[in-house]
């Protein structure tokens, strides 16, 4: 999966560079190449990248649930207490 994502990213960069080079000669064709490259990046590369990076992680840890909000408040209070005790 990592090789697929890396290869596709390099191909997307080459597609954008090619699109801008073509755009200097033929504007409509260059716009088409750039548009297709952006669509592939948005609809194929980005979901694959997000899936690869988030595999094995708990989504609940990143959501603002009441439990997580309470943990953040407790952590903030502990940090404030530590700073007060240092003074």
Q: 3-state secondary structure string, the chain?
A: CHHHHHHHHHHHHHHHHHHHHHHHHCHHHHHHHHHHHHHHHHHHHHHHHHHHHHCCCCHHHHCCCHHHHHHHHHHHHHHHHHHHHHC
* Residues in contact with 40: Cβ distance below 8 Å, sequence separation at least 6, in sequence order: 8, 12, 15
pLDDT tens, position by position, 19-52: 999 999 999 999 999 999 999 999 999 999 999 9
Domain co-membership, 52 together with 64: no
| Whether pLDDT at 87 is above 70 | no
| Whether pLDDT at 10 is above 80 | yes
Domain co-membership, 49 together with 87: no
Domain co-membership, 31 together with 50: yes
Residue 87 domain boundaries: 58-87
pLDDT tens, position by position, 56-82: 888 887 788 888 889 899 999 888 888
Count of structural domains, the chain: 2
Domain co-membership, 41 together with 71: no
| Whether pLDDT at 18 is above 90 | yes
Tell me, what's the pLDDT at 64?
Answer: 85
Tell me, what's the pLDDT at 33?
Answer: 96
Give pTM, 2 decimals.
Answer: 0.67
Domain co-membership, 69 together with 35: no
HSE value, Cβ hemisphere, 13 Å, CA-based, for 82 = 6
Domain co-membership, 67 together with 46: no
């Amino acid at each position: 999966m990592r090789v697929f994502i890396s290869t596709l990213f390099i191909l997307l960069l080459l597609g954008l560079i090619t699109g801008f080079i073509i755009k200097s000669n033929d504007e409509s064709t260059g716009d088409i190449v750039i548009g297709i490259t952006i669509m592939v990046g948005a609809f194929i590369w980005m979901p694959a990248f997000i899936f690869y990076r988030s595999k094995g992680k708990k989504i609940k840890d990143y959501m603002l649930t009441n439990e997580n909000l309470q943990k953040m408040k407790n952590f903030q209070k502990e940090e404030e207490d530590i700073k007060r005790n240092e003074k």
